[in-house]
Structure 1
């Protein structure tokens, strides 16, 4: 049962849409988390549980629906670091986080740091999907995560108009997806989120004059912009090609990569940071991608997991398995079983 609605604001607050009390559905919001809420909802604020929770590969999808109301999404300090991506199937909202508010229109998506609580005021009937995305599944720097989490709800750019409709179109059919398909879809979503971060890096300073100094082995304090010139794009292409050709090499490191391209290690780090990643995360991401493909290949069913790990540059099977589970939510052996063709499992051969 909900409490009596707060009185209408007066004075300078008159004329603003009143914030309805939060649904009394779960535990009270702790005082530190209430600090960011509008004053007249702090006392009665409650965490609201989702109507439905589902899993899509490494993603957790929480769906909220019902008549207009406000609800709090708490900080989740105990869980692994993650981002929360929100998309409305229907309705619109006002997003409250930190000291600010922002309109969330029907076509908008928004991203929040999982360690930061936020409130959504839904003035009309709504259905909202919140996707929990582990940081380990994203090749993003801390700076890129902070920038993405602080961005106002949006539907513009080159990525959001693709990602929003994609999410709305398949989230209602999650139970129909086989595990392997779900994991591939989750990987697609995390790829889109990485692209959102890279797209948001377009405001970084231009450094068209910094390459010559970097090639001479001198450090530079300026990171290449996402809107980099042809020379910087070509350098990034060569670095990635070099990495792809030497994924098997366990001595592959920022120092050896920079030396091969005749640039400083510092410049190499900044080159990838401007793209929403780090060189270390990129190397591990590519190694995991190739190992995952090999594990799913029918002709590689008899190859030991440890051999696959070594082939793609991992020091040992334990480190590989831990990294694989962190990125994809399943162990290498579980992934291999999930991607086994039906006739293999039905036949019981082997």
Structure 2
């Protein structure tokens, strides 16, 4: 079923509310777009990065994007001309790299304003709200964590990321996008964090899964456990993928490692 869209023009803003069932949306625009995913769950795809978008999450796009809606949804899109925001290219890049989120000092206020705009308030009141929207969008740049963070805060964030990965190794849906969303940072910034860790976030996830699987296979008395069971338990898509990755990392197959470590001596 095609989505239902309602449009309002408020000064320099154009507000569109879209409602529908599970489907993929590819909005056509030539402005900076502020989105409020009011109801439903979706996956936002920008510049090849896929990020979860939950009820209440805000996001900003400056180019083509897709929304894969997984259930009934309500979406508010606000088109803003860049000249009305007085933002530099670097600030726009920071906004569009911001992970969809409803948290922080600015996002809740901005989300509430967008709902008011979409609710069809009087023209005069809506125009006042429109000016406030532009100001708050600019404030998002200053409140979102970015590559300028250094020192202890950055190291603490890396520790939180590693702890999150360890707690979700079993989940096949664990990806750089899901990790970034859980920490309320952009995927771009997450990759930036790991540039100084002699790894990438994707390789770190795989390394930790292999490490835990290797330990389980070597555990005494576990010679009856199947390789496919261990692969499933530690989040690998298939036993074949697990075996190939294990051999590449350790130079031995998972079954040979298990048999050699658990076979009784003598």
TM-score (norm 1): 0.40
What is the Cα deviation at residue 118 of structure 1? 0.6
What is the Cα deviation at residue 205 of structure 1? 6.0
Per the alignment, residue 20 of structure 2 pairs with 66
Aligned-partner Cα distance in 2 for 1:188–1:65: 25
Pick closer, same or farther for the CA change 1:166–1:151 going to 2, 3 Å: same
Given that residues 94 and 146 in structure 2 are in contact (C-alpha distance below 8 angstroms), is that contact kept between their aligned partners in structure 1?
no
Given that residues 85 and 133 in structure 1 are in contact (C-alpha distance below 8 angstroms), is that contact kept between their aligned partners in structure 2?
yes
1:190 aligns with one of 123, 131, 134: 134
Pick closer, same or farther for the CA change 1:155–1:195 going to 2, 3 Å: same
Aligned-partner Cα distance in 2 for 1:172–1:61: 7
Equivalent runs, 1:185-334 vs 2, <5 Å: 185-200=129-144, 203-204=147-148
Greater strand share, structure number: 2
Aligned-partner Cα distance in 2 for 1:75–1:187: 21
Task: For residue 139 of structure 1, give the secondary structure of its aligned residue in structure 2.
Answer: coil
Aligned-partner Cα distance in 2 for 1:202–1:71: 28
RMSD over aligned Cα atoms? 2.1
Q: Is 1:88 aligned to residue 88 of structure 2? A: no
Given that residues 86 and 109 in structure 1 are in contact (C-alpha distance below 8 angstroms), is that contact kept between their aligned partners in structure 2?
yes
Given that residues 8 and 16 in structure 2 are in contact (C-alpha distance below 8 angstroms), is that contact kept between their aligned partners in structure 1?
yes
Per the alignment, residue 177 of structure 1 pairs with 122
Task: For residue 73 of structure 1, give the secondary structure of its aligned residue in structure 2.
Answer: coil
Per the alignment, residue 213 of structure 1 pairs with none
Aligned-partner Cα distance in 1 for 2:74–2:119: 15
What is the Cα deviation at residue 91 of structure 1? 1.2
Relative contact order higher in (CA < 8 Å, ≥ 6 apart): 2
What is the Cα deviation at residue 158 of structure 1? 1.0
Pick closer, same or farther for the CA change 1:91–1:139 going to 2, 3 Å: same
Aligned-partner Cα distance in 2 for 1:128–1:122: 10
Aligned-partner Cα distance in 2 for 1:140–1:165: 23
Given that residues 38 and 57 in structure 2 are in contact (C-alpha distance below 8 angstroms), is that contact kept between their aligned partners in structure 1?
no
Pick closer, same or farther for the CA change 1:64–1:205 going to 2, 3 Å: closer
Per the alignment, residue 11 of structure 2 pairs with 57
Aligned-partner Cα distance in 2 for 1:119–1:165: 24
Aligned-partner Cα distance in 2 for 1:182–1:165: 13
Given that residues 91 and 122 in structure 1 are in contact (C-alpha distance below 8 angstroms), is that contact kept between their aligned partners in structure 2?
yes
Q: Deviations over 1:125-174 (max 9, x none)?
A: 11111000111111311100011012221122211122113322x13432
Pick closer, same or farther for the CA change 1:142–1:172 going to 2, 3 Å: closer
Q: Which runs of 4+ in 1 moved over 3 A?
A: none
Aligned-partner Cα distance in 2 for 1:204–1:182: 36
Task: For residue 26 of structure 2, give the secondary structure of its aligned residue in structure 1.
Answer: strand
Q: Which runs of 5+ in 1 are unaligned?
A: 3-22, 24-47, 77-81, 207-350
Q: Is 1:160 aligned to residue 123 of structure 2? A: no
Q: Deviations over 1:61-92 (max 9, x none)?
A: 1121111111112352xxxxx31011123212
Per the alignment, residue 68 of structure 2 pairs with 121
Aligned-partner Cα distance in 1 for 2:29–2:85: 20
Task: For residue 76 of structure 2, give the secondary structure of its aligned residue in structure 1.
Answer: strand
What is the Cα deviation at residue 182 of structure 1? 2.4
